[in-house]
Every structure is written in C-alpha cells, then in structure tokens.
C-alpha cells in the first residue's frame, strides 16, 4: 500500500501508516507539506513543497515511478482569517486541487480523505466527489471541538474520470 499524506504530516499518523503498510507489503508513505515538519523514519518527506507547484508534482511523479497511490490523505487547510465564508472558500479550493492531483496519482478503487470546513460549497464539493468515488462519508472526529466547522470527508472506490467533472 502506498499513501500520500498532504498538509502537516504528523509523526504519529505516518508512523501508524508505516506500521500498517509494513504488515501487508512493501509500500511507502510520502509526506508533503509547504512548511517544515519532523521527519518520520521510513517516510519519504517533501518539506517546503507546495502541492500546487509543478516542481512538487514532478517530484511526486519521480518518487512514484509510474505507480499510483492507494490512499490520498489530506489535513491541508489554509491559514484561517477568521472570516468563516472566506476560509471555507479557500479550503474548498485546496480540496479541488487535491482532487485534481488524485486524477494523476490515485489508483483505481483508491481512497481519499480530506479536511473540510462546513460552508456554502460543502454539498457541491461532496457531489463532485460522488461523481468519481463509489462511496463518500462525512465524519467529525472526537478530537474536534463541538462548535468547530471542521469535518473530514472519506471517499472510497475511486474511478478516474474520463470527462471534466472537476470544473469549479
């Protein structure tokens, strides 16, 4: 199993993933973030890497060497401004970019997990995901504050789109 972890990879998360991968096959974890983060032994770490940059896309393609990832995991979020709707728009745009990346790196029947902040475009984003995944679920982690708009979308059963469903 191969996992690409975007946006503030956490050592405990990536260590857990590596443990699960090590139990099943010779897969690996690629950890990517625009900021610096503590290295995790066994992970391929891309620090200071912007997922929107062509240079990052090329580096990921080089690492994958023609292979695809099983899971695209994202805890990406823009720096919050305090303006709820603007912050929501920005996280939706990040997730649309993540979905665009999925069209290049996620294998058929793969999974995507991404952070979202509730807002006016949440349903539209979910409907876009439903066009390319067999199943989608929204979850609110126990660790998330009750009054927080933070949720995660889990999308399973990826089918690479043959047409442009990713229009914003």
The pairing of strands 133-139 and 150-158 is antiparallel
- The answer to whether residue 115 is catalytic is yes
On whether the CB atoms of residues 114 and 95 are closer than 8 A, the answer is: yes
Going across the sheet that includes 3-6, the strands are 44-47, 29-33, 3-6, 69-74, 106-117, 150-158, 133-139
Residues in the chain: 168
Q: Which of 107, 115, 140, 162 is catalytic?
A: 115
Sign of torsion, CA 73 17 140 68? positive
Whole-number Å distance between alpha carbons of 76 and 107: 21
Write out the catalytic residue numbers. Answer: 115
């Amino acid at each position: 199993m191969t996992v690409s972890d975007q946006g503030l990879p956490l050592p405990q998360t990536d260590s857990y993933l590596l443990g699960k991968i090590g139990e099943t096959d010779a897969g690996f974890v690629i950890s990517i973030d625009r900021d610096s983060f503590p290295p995790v032994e066994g992970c391929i770490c891309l620090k200071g890497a912007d997922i929107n940059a062509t240079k990052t896309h090329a580096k990921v393609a080089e690492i994958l060497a023609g292979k695809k990832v099983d899971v695209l995991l994202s805890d990406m979020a823009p720096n919050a401004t305090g303006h709820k709707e603007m912050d929501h728009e920005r996280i939706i745009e990040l997730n649309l970019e993540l979905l665009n990346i999925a069209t290049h790196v996620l294998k058929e029947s793969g999974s995507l997990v991404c952070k979202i902040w509730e807002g006016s475009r949440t349903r539209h984003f979910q409907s876009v995901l439903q066009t390319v995944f067999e199943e989608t679920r929204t979850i609110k982690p126990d660790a998330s504050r009750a009054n927080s708009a933070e949720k995660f979308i889990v999308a399973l059963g990826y089918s690479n789109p043959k047409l442009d469903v990713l229009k914003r």
